[in-house]
């Protein structure tokens, strides 16, 4: 009997770092108890419990307390009947109402899915670029809070390839560059935050929502702080252009589109964070890389920083690749350097001439701290 009252699930609560954690759920005589792996306990009494059923699968049960500050959730198909039995019928009215509503929405979702499929077929027949425009419009309709949730969950779970650097001075120097660029970002709502990983890899990447990871190998390789600012601007552009969300939409396909149409972004967050844990962070398309270059250069120029610094970094990596051990990750995942350098030069030539303010950091000292 005890096994029938134990389930795998999770908890949403501000008392948890990151706001969410997996949990073992036990149905007690008076309420629902969730234990997280670090030993924290969360409980929702049956008489206060407010139920919702939905999520990405459509059948996740969310059990919330009265002020909705705590949510315990479970996707096990046996959970609703066990919840009914354990609560001695207290939750039956809510369960029956929510399950009936969910079945109705499931049928409606099937009809919407069929309609979306027909629409996609018509768009494909109508032209490839029409489909792409529709996808971009769908991403723009999703609130930026979804990007932040995906990025935060992915960052908490993914293996970074090394520890974060103990000395905060390096991260503070890079954050000052980001803070100078951020007011000129094309999209509001992103909270840019840099993390420096102690690893010889010459690499950097950005997660949806604004978390940017830079490896000490890249700091060591850059001859000047402006070169790192160029890399940061490029990665910030991936965030503001929402390339990560586009990648997730492409990977998850029609099921994600249907859930978004129904206003359900919870499943997108969970699946998206899983995708960023497993997939290559830098595997953007050629068009996305070109767009990030152009937008990053624009941000640099608007912030009074030299947009050609990024081209100098690309040229340095190209010249020294053969002499560096292993694979130079940031260059290896950003191909066609000559084309990219020439495109940035053409773009910069169209802007009015101006004096660029140097970044006020002791770069030699920062590089020494990053060793």
Distance CA 198, CA 291 (A): 29
Token output for 168: 């905060």
pTM of the shown model: 0.60
Among 75, 99, 123, the domain boundary falls at 99
pLDDT of residue 338: 79
Terminal-residue alpha carbon distance, the chain? 57
Q: Decide: 54 and 102 in contact? Cβ < 8 Å.
A: yes
**Are 163 and 287 in the same domain?**
yes
Walk across the sheet containing 6-13 and list its strands. Answer: 41-45, 31-35, 20-27, 6-13, 70-74, 60-64, 50-54
User: Is beta strand 6-13 parallel, antiparallel or unpaired with respect to 20-27?
Assistant: antiparallel
Q: Which domain holds residue 208?
A: 145-369
Q: In the beta sheet, which residues pair with residue 206? A: 212
**Rounded (5°) CA angle 299-348-209:** 20
pLDDT of residue 328: 43
Token output for 240: 């503001």
**Are 24 and 150 in the same domain?**
no
pLDDT of residue 139: 61
Question: Could you tell me how far CA 155 lies from the centroid of its own chain?
Answer: 8
**Are 117 and 95 in the same domain?**
no
**Are 158 and 131 in the same domain?**
no
Distance CA 297, CA 183 (A): 14
**Are 225 and 130 in the same domain?**
no
Other C-beta atoms closer than 10 Å to the C-beta of 163 total 9
Q: Is 66 helix (H, G, I), strand (E, B) or coil?
A: coil
Question: Over the stretch 290-349, which tens digit does the pLDDT of each residue have?
Answer: 899 999 999 999 999 999 998 998 888 777 654 443 434 455 444 467 788 888 999 988
Tell me if residue 339 is catalytic.
no
pLDDT of residue 267: 55
pLDDT of residue 366: 94
- Which residue is listed with tokens 């049928």? 107
CATH code of 85's domain = 2.30.29.30
Query: Shortest CA distance to 254 belongs to which of 75, 112, 106, 60?
Result: 112
**Are 201 and 125 in the same domain?**
no
Among 99, 132, 165, the domain boundary falls at 99
**Are 320 and 338 in the same domain?**
yes
Q: Which of 149, 226, 235, 289 is catalytic?
A: 235
**Are 69 and 177 in the same domain?**
no
**Are 136 and 152 in the same domain?**
no
Q: Decide: 59 and 12 in contact? Cβ < 8 Å.
A: no
For the chain, what is the domain count?
A: 3
Q: Decide: 18 and 8 in contact? Cβ < 8 Å.
A: no
Question: Could you tell me how far CA 8 lies from the centroid of its own chain?
Answer: 25
pLDDT of residue 321: 54
In terms of Cβ atoms closer than 10 Å to its own Cβ (0-12, 13-18, 19+), residue 330 is buried
Distance CA 287, CA 289 (A): 5
| Residues of the chain scoring pLDDT < 70 | 1-4, 56-57, 102-141, 248-283, 320-336
Q: Which residues of 243-271 are buried (b: 16+ CB within 10 A; e: fewer)?
A: bbbbbbbeebeeebbbbbeeebbbbbbbb
pLDDT of residue 57: 65
Q: Decide: 56 and 248 in contact? Cβ < 8 Å.
A: no
Q: Which residues of 292-310 are buried (b: 16+ CB within 10 A; e: fewer)?
A: bbbbbbbbbbebebbbbbb
**Are 117 and 64 in the same domain?**
no
Q: Decide: 59 and 264 in contact? Cβ < 8 Å.
A: no
User: Is beta strand 50-54 parallel, antiparallel or unpaired with respect to 41-45?
Assistant: unpaired
**Are 32 and 91 in the same domain?**
yes
pLDDT of residue 317: 78
**Are 124 and 216 in the same domain?**
no
């Amino acid at each position: 009997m005890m096994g029938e009252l134990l389930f795998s699930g999770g908890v949403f609560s501000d008392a948890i770092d990151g706001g969410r954690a997996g949990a073992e759920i036990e149905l007690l005589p008076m309420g629902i108890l969730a234990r997280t792996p670090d030993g924290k306990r969360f409980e929702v009494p049956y008489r206060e419990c407010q139920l919702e059923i939905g999520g990405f699968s459509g059948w996740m049960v969310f059990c919330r307390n009265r002020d909705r500050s705590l949510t315990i959730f479970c996707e096990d198909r046996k959970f609703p009947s066990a919840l009914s039995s354990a609560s001695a019928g207290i939750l039956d009215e809510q369960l029956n109402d929510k399950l009936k509503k969910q079945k109705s929405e499931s049928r409606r979702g099937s009809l919407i899915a069929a309609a979306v499929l027909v629409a996609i077929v018509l768009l494909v027949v109508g032209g490839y670029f029409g489909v792409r425009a529709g996808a971009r419009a769908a991403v723009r309709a999703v609130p930026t809070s979804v990007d932040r949730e995906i990025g935060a969950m992915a960052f908490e779970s993914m293996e970074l390839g090394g520890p974060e650097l103990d000395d905060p001075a390096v991260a503070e120097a890079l954050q000052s560059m980001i803070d100078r660029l951020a007011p000129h970002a094309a999209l509001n709502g992103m909270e840019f935050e840099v993390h420096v990983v102690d690893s010889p890899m010459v690499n950097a990447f950005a997660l949806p929502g604004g978390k940017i990871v830079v490896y000490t190998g890249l700091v060591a390789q850059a001859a000047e702080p402006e070169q790192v600012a160029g890399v940061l601007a490029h990665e910030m552009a991936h965030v503001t252009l929402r390339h990560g969300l586009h990648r997730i939409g492409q990977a998850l396909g029609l099921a994600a589109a249907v859930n978004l149409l129904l206003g359900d972004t919870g499943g997108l967050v969970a699946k998206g964070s899983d995708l960023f844990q497993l997939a290559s962070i830098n595997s953007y398309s050629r068009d996305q890389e070109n767009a990030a270059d152009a937008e990053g250069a624009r941000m640099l120029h608007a912030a009074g920083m030299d947009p050609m610094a990024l081209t100098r970094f690309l040229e340095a990596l190209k010249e020294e690749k053969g002499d560096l051990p292993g694979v130079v990750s940031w260059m290896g995942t950003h191909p066609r350097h000559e084309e990219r350098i020439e495109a940035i030069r053409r773009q910069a030539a169209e802007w009015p001439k101006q004096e660029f303010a140097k970044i006020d950091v002791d770069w030699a000292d920062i590089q020494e701290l990053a060793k």
